[in-house]
Amino acid sequence: MSQALVEAFEKLKGRYKPGVVSGPMTFYFSLGEGPGQKWTVRLTPTECSAEQGKAENADCFLKTSEERFLKLLAGKWTPGVMDFMSGKIKSNDPTKLKLLKDCFA
């Protein structure tokens, strides 16, 4: 398990902006192989929770490397079309990824 990921998801909770989402949403992150690389973030209009493990029926998933994810959170990388086309990042709904960004900006 990566301590950097644990810290990143803990910090996300503190950066959450209530009121951005109008109803419950679940995001699933697959950030590599092995223990501690799968995370679920649940958002409501007032709260954010993060826990290790895979979410069933998530509204949106994001699959990328831990390194890219940490750069994304730090504002050092913004995925572009070519990142999706090359498979560096995968999602079932890229528009919801923008909403996720708005929740923590």
pLDDT tens by residue, 57-101: 999 999 999 999 998 888 788 888 899 999 999 999 988 888 888
Give the CATH number for residue 32.
3.30.1050.10
- 96 dihedral zone (left: phi>0; alpha: psi -120 to 50; beta): alpha
Q: Is the pLDDT of residue 37 over 70?
A: yes
CA dihedral (46, 54, 2, 60) in degrees, to 10, reads -60
Domain count, the chain: 1
Per-residue pLDDT, averaged over 32-37, amounts to: 86
- Number of neighbours of residue 39 by Cβ within 10 angstroms: 23
DSSP structure class, residue 20: S
Instruction: Write out the residue range of the structural domain in which residue 72 sits.
Output: 3-104
pLDDT value of residue 1: 61
Give the pTM: 0.89
C-alpha–C-alpha distance, residues 16 and 80, integer Å: 24
Task: Report which residue type is found at 32.
Answer: G
